[in-house]
Structure 1
Amino acid sequence: MSAKALFSKFTSLTDKRDPKKSTHILAEVMFISVCAILCGADDWNGIRLFAEHKEGWLRKHLTLPGGIPVAVTFNRIFATLDPEEFRKIFIQWIRDVLSGLELSDSKIVALDGKTVKGSAWNKGKDAIHMLNAWCTEAGLSLGQYKVDEKSNEITAIPELLKLLELSGSLVTIDAMGCQKKIATAILKKEADYLLAVKGNQKKLYGEVTRLFDQYWQDNLEDAPDHYFAEQEGKEHGRMEHRRCWVINDVTEDSNAASWRAKTIAAIQLDSSKKGKGKTLIRYFICSCQLSAAEVLQATRKHWLIENQLHWVLDVAFDEDRCRTREGFAAENLAVARQVTLNLLKLDTTVKAGIKNKRKTCGWNEDYMMQVLKLVDL
């Protein structure tokens, strides 16, 4: 499924401008913006400069009745564009993309939030916070939802879940998302959950910690099997050792059972750097039966959303320094970045990081066409 299919959906976007005063076609402005971001533009002036330098190429695919839009026009259009419509188009497009990929039946979908820090630079407003969904197996963004300024991720998560196709997936969320309403919403989507448990759920946390304290007291020796697993590795200059224990026989009268949990897990992380070490124990509940090795794998994969999405948006797209704020512009621009990130992730013809792939698109028109898959237009 190419960008061509996505761009065809742009024509269905609602244009809120006065048609008598509009000289630029909305779908064409969106096309130009995505292409510009793909080629390294990070702000409205960058998008305009791309369009000016690529006007000849753009005219092969677009009509451009008003010529090349100025920077404030790009800003104004993104500020007035309905973010819900744009988000739904993105989610529909990537759903079609995933249907053409060979993924396992139990893919992991990680949910986590990211603040676009630069969006707080003026007008005394807080920076926007985007809740993102990431398919760890495909390495693709599945969708996003802006967290309301007067709310938090707890209210945004169910709204994003409604939009996603999750059947057969394992949805992983940190402790903030450990809410019965969220767990129920995931199960209703015919998916399973793996939720981190902390003190914000006092009864559940107390029960889980007591169960493992008793388990460790009764099982002094650990041997690798279904109920115990361990990993060693090196991360960011730290030596790390992870140990995981699971309990699958959740009793019907327990608090965990009221969450419809079938597995509870504990992971101990021992890390050391420059001679200094620390130990951390984290607890989880899961709605399906998992072995200790499977829990370790799932919790490790959850953090790919930080390394492959959030970090890349900051380093390769300079998202944290983007000062766009007017109207819905910041939210819509965040979605546009994830459109281009997915396009670059889907292309495997160039072995390079996302930042250098963007540069290659700007330097090499043939490669840009390859990424966009517009060669047949």
Structure 2
Amino acid sequence: MTRQGPELENLLFKDCFTTLKDPRRTNRGNIRYSLEELIFLTIAAVVSGFQTYELIEGFGQEKLDWLRSYYPYKNGVPSHDTLGKLYGRLNPKEFSKCLIQFTESLAEQDTKVIAIDGKTVKGFLNQEGYPMHILTAFCANNRMSLGQKSVDGKENEIVAIPRLLELVCVKNSIVTIDAMGCQTEIATKIRKQEAEYVLQVKNNQKTLLENIEDSFSVKKTTDIDITEDCGHGRVEVRKCSVVSDLEFIENAHKWKDLKTIVRIESKTYFKKTAKEILGTRYYISSLPANAKLLNESISSHWSIENNLHWNLDVIFKEDNQAKRNQTAIENANLIAKLAMIMLEQEKTFTKSKNRKRLKAFANNTYRELILKV
């Protein structure tokens, strides 16, 4: 599998994995299925609604004739044990690189918001007793995962974020991170990669937070944007205020290219309970004092929760999986995200992802449309 991949704009599913190293001992001559056959079967099954190894095997048995129109499958369908052994050994870092190449070929090239946030896979502890936590870079515009990095053992997101930024092309984008990522080193790394940053500020940067609050109480507001969002039984009004005078920000020079501080005041009214919740959040940014752009960028950050983490939990049932091998779980997470991207990108059938998956199982042509084969 050494063939060089084509230009990104022409990349198809079958081209994604041509450089991926096979972890199996291929010199023994007992390999019954190619790496491409195993991956193609798996992803075709997952976009069709089947995720456990046993169900993927069952999907293959039902769709063997269709599978053979793309790959030989001379030995029939691989067993669930064969699939489990592969994904328990396949290098997630290298697998992720293949998927990043594919997703970047689908992503729009205009300015986009890239939200970085982490999610813990519940029900799994590694050998040291730590839960598995996966950090993801998510493109809000295209609703697609651009890359991921697992947080090892005792580490936290502060250590993992720079490593994730090295994997993902963020040039000309706006990178949004919650308070954990509000670090001078992370801001510098984002700017060195020719991207802008919007970082939330909380008590982990207590002095900075106090400086921002003092600034908003004294300094003149440079720009304001107000938006109203209705849906799901609630009405939310968001007021974004921006100050560009950084006189009260101690050591402002340590935050690379810091230009603005931001305050978001939200008022959320729940129609069913008639309750109203008020909230105030603060941010720092390398963006100029454009309240509308900052308001939209900060709002877009939450798409990683609504469009990625929610889908992984509810549609792909990540927290309920029975896999107990950390490598297998990382690879399953990657496959679920790729399937999610493919389902999101398919626009001809404007139904839910679950309906799309059902149609993909029933209709070979529609499945091919999703898989881009």
- Asked if these proteins are the same fold (TM beyond 0.5), I'd say yes
Matches of 1:198 and 1:2 in 2, distance apart? Answer: 41
Partner of 1:114: 119
Matches of 2:197 and 2:167 in 1, distance apart? Answer: 17
Matches of 2:84 and 2:77 in 1, distance apart? Answer: 14
Partner of 1:268: 265
Displacement after TM superposition at 1:127 (Å)? 3.5
Matches of 1:270 and 1:253 in 2, distance apart? Answer: 27
What pairs up with 1:1-377 in 2 under 5 angstroms?
5-19=12-26, 20=28, 21-98=30-107, 101=108, 103-104=109-110, 106-120=111-125, 125-215=129-219, 227-251=223-247, 254-259=250-255, 260-273=257-270, 274-374=273-373
Q: Secondary structure at the match of 1:74?
A: helix
Displacement after TM superposition at 1:327 (Å)? 4.3
Task: Note closer, same or farther for the CA distance 1:29–1:2 as it changes in structure 2 (3 Å cut).
Answer: farther
**Aligned AA for 2:328?**
A
Task: Note closer, same or farther for the CA distance 1:85–1:73 as it changes in structure 2 (3 Å cut).
Answer: same
Matches of 1:199 and 1:108 in 2, distance apart? Answer: 25
1:72-111 alpha-carbon deviations (Å, 9 max, x no partner): 111110010011110111111212222xx4x43x211111
Contact 2:123 2:319 (C-alpha < 8 Å) held by counterparts:
yes
Unaligned runs of 5+ in 2: 1-7
Contact 1:207 1:255 (C-alpha < 8 Å) held by counterparts:
no
1:222-271 alpha-carbon deviations (Å, 9 max, x no partner): xxxx6122222335433322222111132497433320310101111122
Matches of 2:93 and 2:131 in 1, distance apart? Answer: 19
Q: Secondary structure at the match of 1:80?
A: coil
| Structure with more relative contact order (C-alpha pairs < 8 Å, separation 6 or more) | 1
Displacement after TM superposition at 1:281 (Å)? 1.1
Taking only the aligned residue pairs, the percentage that are identical comes to: 36
1:267-312 alpha-carbon deviations (Å, 9 max, x no partner): 1112233243332211000012032222211111111111111112
**Aligned AA for 1:355?**
N
Matches of 1:255 and 1:303 in 2, distance apart? Answer: 29
Contact 2:212 2:248 (C-alpha < 8 Å) held by counterparts:
no
**Aligned AA for 1:13?**
L
Q: Secondary structure at the match of 1:154?
A: helix
CA RMSD in angstroms comes to 2.2
Matches of 2:88 and 2:131 in 1, distance apart? Answer: 16
**Aligned AA for 1:228?**
I
Q: Secondary structure at the match of 2:88?
A: helix
1:147-180 alpha-carbon deviations (Å, 9 max, x no partner): 1122111111111100111111010011111011
Contact 1:11 1:26 (C-alpha < 8 Å) held by counterparts:
no
Matches of 1:139 and 1:278 in 2, distance apart? Answer: 28
Matches of 2:68 and 2:11 in 1, distance apart? Answer: 16
Matches of 1:318 and 1:129 in 2, distance apart? Answer: 16
Displacement after TM superposition at 1:32 (Å)? 0.7
Contact 1:174 1:196 (C-alpha < 8 Å) held by counterparts:
yes
Displacement after TM superposition at 1:7 (Å)? 2.9
Task: Note closer, same or farther for the CA distance 1:65–1:124 as it changes in structure 2 (3 Å cut).
Answer: farther
1:168-201 alpha-carbon deviations (Å, 9 max, x no partner): 1010011111011111110111001000001101
Task: Note closer, same or farther for the CA distance 1:327–1:309 as it changes in structure 2 (3 Å cut).
Answer: closer
Matches of 1:306 and 1:253 in 2, distance apart? Answer: 31
TM-score in terms of structure 1 length = 0.89
Task: Note closer, same or farther for the CA distance 1:2–1:24 as it changes in structure 2 (3 Å cut).
Answer: farther
Matches of 2:311 and 2:144 in 1, distance apart? Answer: 12
TM-score in terms of structure 2 length = 0.90
Task: Note closer, same or farther for the CA distance 1:141–1:150 as it changes in structure 2 (3 Å cut).
Answer: same
